[in-house]
A = this chain, B = another copy of it.
Amino acid sequence: MSNENQGMPSVTVENYLKQICLEQVRRGGDELVPMGRLAEAVGVTPGTATTMVKSLAEADLLRYAPRAGVELTASGRKLAHRVLRRHRLVELFLVEVLNMDWSEVHAEAEELEHTISDKVLDRIDELLGHPTADPHGSPIPRPDQPLLRDTSLSLDAAPIDRPLTVVRIVDHDPDFLRFAETHGLMPGASTRVTERQPHADAVSVQTEDRPVVTLGSVAAARVLVKDVE
């Protein structure tokens, strides 16, 4: 009636797969995602995650190594990428077409990523001109070649005094995003690390023609940049 027919994965399954995929990318790709981490990401107790993971392994969506962790199979990854694609296209759509704020679209997309049909998604994709990144700079996987690799140079680790371009913000907290925006830290912006204070656990950056701002290493790690070629 409402959500899933026969082979269609439930919202719950989609969330587990998506979360495993994100965690795997976050940890380089060849490590297993530990149960505790997954449970927290999905928002359930560890016991629940264990149960669920066993049934996902049964369905060949992931490999489960007891007491070690999980990793997606090819079909699990494919499904996860479809969810991520929907999520990110929806985010961009909300910003570009409905003029919503980039700080609020993540929460909206969390719901819509499970409901948007392929047909609607294709229209959105077309309307937006087949974009390759969402408003936060996260790559939008294509249904065909759904790879997902990371530039992974964070402000935290970037060289000093070289011209950089912000490529991505890996944080969805609305407050952080608004903070980033007020300092010009958005994908596409030109920036530069003016100074690094290792003892203070901080870096100072100067973005476009704005005043210098100093970030702690945790915040700085959330801002990915690339060296201007």
The chain A residues found within 8 Å of chain B, CB to CB, are 1-3, 11-12, 15, 42-44, 94, 97-100, 104, 108, 110-112, 114-117, 119-120, 123-124, 127
Contact = CB atoms under 8 A, between A and B. Distances in A.
B115 A100 contact: no
B119 A104 contact: yes
A100 B120 contact: yes
Nearest to A117: B108
A188 to B, nearest CB: 24
A108 B120 contact: yes
Interface centre among A2, A11, A43 (most CB of B within 10 A): A2
B119 A108 contact: yes
Given A42-B1, A98-B123, A120-B100, A112 B115 contact: yes
Q: Which of A120, A123, A124 has the most chain B CB within a 10 Å cutoff?
A: A120
B15 A11 contact: no
Contact of A2 (B104, B111, B124): B111
26 contacts: A1-B15, A1-B42, A1-B44, A2-B11, A2-B12, A2-B15, A2-B110, A2-B111, A3-B11, A3-B111, A97-B97, A98-B120, A98-B123, A98-B124, A98-B127, A100-B119, A100-B123, A104-B119, A108-B117, A108-B119, A108-B120, A111-B115, A111-B117, A112-B112, A112-B115, A115-B115
A104 B117 CA distance: 11
Nearest to A97: B97
A3 B112 CA distance: 10
Nearest to A116: B112
Given A111-B115, A111-B117, A117-B108, A43 B1 contact: yes
A98 to B, nearest CB: 4
Contacts of A108: 117, 119-120
A94 to B, nearest CB: 7
A117 B97 CA distance: 16
A102 to B, nearest CB: 14
A178 B98 CA distance: 29
B120 A94 contact: yes
Contacts of A124: 98
